[in-house]
């Protein structure tokens, strides 16, 4: 059962959160009035997410979350405080690897959304660690539910990527990892608000920066799940550009791992050839024209030359 532990010394706060979750039968809520009580619960319960107040008598929130990390490293940790102090946030991140920082008074909808994202993150890490490719695809499809326009995107990207990797002549294990990485390339979108993923218009700079964090968030999940480097590289680097103007690291040319260069081509082609919140799909010929136009800046020319007949064949095969 998806379990969340809320730790706060104020009874009124615990009561408010309990009322907030009364109609949610998909989440089990546990409550503790102190850091020590919270640690005791962690010893006997499988807690997916822990949300802790910062300023508590005795053991403060950061100390509690640091001890929670040592006791249950897989549990996702969230700090909650009325003190919106950047030093508190930095402390929480550095000492306990807190996943999020929530300020009081909170907005119920936003707090629930943050906890739900943390629950999905926990489930994703546990599932990826199972080394079962049916689970990988299932998790990718769950992430796609946040944006109905991307339904089937991960599977199509995997199809293009595998075919391109075969054309390159990579070995079977490498290709298998590329398939898994293709399925999971956008898994970091679990941390991106749905209203941004589904926005029909241009995003603000801050919103765009949030969206561009998804390769970092996703690759961290994959690292925690101890997935192969090939998979991690795809998640982390599939938005790099051949001219070095991509994100998150600004890698250029062949310093971008070949698996990420392969998936970048498949990802962009499928995005062009599919409906998106901000536009209808381009037809096949226009999609190919745009891919040609982007090659000088975005793609590996040698890989594009191998990809174009693959796209044509897959289109013909229907």
Contact between 134 and 180 under an 8 Å Cβ cutoff? The reply is no
CA distances (Å), 80 to each of 40, 56, 60, 316, 317, in order?
20, 11, 11, 54, 53
**% the chain with pLDDT above 70:** 94
Predicted local confidence at residue 309, as pLDDT: 94
pLDDT band (50, 70, 90) for residue 131: confident
The CATH number of the structural domain formed by 132-317 is 1.10.3210.10
Q: So where are the chain's domains?
A: 3-124, 132-317
Q: What is the mean pLDDT of the chain?
A: 89
**Residue written as token pair 């971008």:** 256
Distance in angstroms (rounded) separating the CA atoms of residues 297 and 123: 37
Residue 83 banded pLDDT, cuts 50, 70, 90: low
- Strands ordered across the beta sheet of 49-53: 28-32, 3-7, 49-53, 76-81, 100-103
- Between 207 and 64, the more confident residue is 64
Check residue 276 and give its pLDDT.
Answer: 66
Q: Which CATH superfamily is domain 3-124 in?
A: Response regulator (3.40.50.2300)
pLDDT greater at residue 139 or residue 181: 181
Q: Higher pLDDT residue, 190 or 110?
A: 110
pLDDT tens-place string over residues 20-60: 999 899 999 999 999 999 999 999 999 999 999 988 999 99
**pLDDT band for position 308 (50/70/90)?**
very high
Q: Which of 79, 47, 77 is closest to 60 using CA atoms?
A: 79
* Rounded Cα gap, residues 196 and 200, in angstroms: 9
Q: What distance in Å separates the CA atoms of residue 150 and residue 143, rounded to the nearest whole number?
A: 9
pTM value surpassing 0.75? yes
pLDDT of residue 275: 72
User: Tens digit of pLDDT for each residue in 235-267?
Assistant: 999 999 999 999 999 999 999 999 999 999 999
């Amino acid at each position: 059962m998806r379990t969340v532990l809320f730790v706060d010394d104020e009874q009124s706060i615990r009561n408010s959160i309990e009322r907030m979750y009364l109609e949610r039968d998909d989440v089990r809520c546990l409550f503790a009035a102190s850091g020590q009580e919270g640690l005791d619960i962690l010893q006997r319960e499988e807690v997916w997410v822990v949300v802790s107040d910062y300023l508590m008598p005795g053991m403060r929130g950061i100390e509690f979350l640091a001890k929670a990390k040592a006791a249950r490293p897989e549990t996702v940790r969230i700090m909650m405080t009325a003190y919106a102090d950047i030093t508190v946030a930095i402390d929480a991140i550095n000492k306990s690897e807190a996943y999020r920082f929530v300020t009081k008074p909170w907005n119920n909808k936003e707090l629930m959304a943050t906890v739900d994202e943390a629950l999905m993150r926990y489930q994703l890490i546990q599932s990826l660690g199972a080394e079962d490719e049916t689970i990988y695809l299932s998790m990718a499809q769950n992430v796609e539910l946040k944006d109905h326009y991307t339904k089937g995107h991960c599977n199509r990207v995997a199809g293009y990527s595998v075919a391109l990797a075969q054309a390159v002549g990579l070995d079977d294990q490498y290709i298998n990892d590329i398939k898994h990485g293709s399925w999971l390339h956008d898994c970091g979108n679990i941390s991106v608000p749905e209203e941004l993923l589904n926005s029909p218009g241009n995003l603000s700079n801050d919103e765009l920066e949030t969206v561009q964090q998804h390769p970092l968030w996703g690759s961290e999940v994959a690292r925690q799940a101890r997935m192969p480097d090939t998979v991690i590289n795809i998640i982390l680097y599939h938005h790099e550009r051949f001219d070095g103007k991509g994100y998150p690291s600004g890698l250029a040319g062949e310093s971008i791992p070949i698996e990420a260069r392969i998936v970048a081509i498949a990802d962009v082609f499928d995005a062009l050839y599919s409906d998106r919140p901000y536009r209808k799909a381009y037809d096949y010929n226009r999609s190919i024209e745009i891919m040609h136009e982007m090659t000088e800046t975005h793609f590996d020319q040698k890989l594009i030359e191998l990809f174009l007949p693959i796209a044509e064949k897959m289109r013909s095969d229907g």
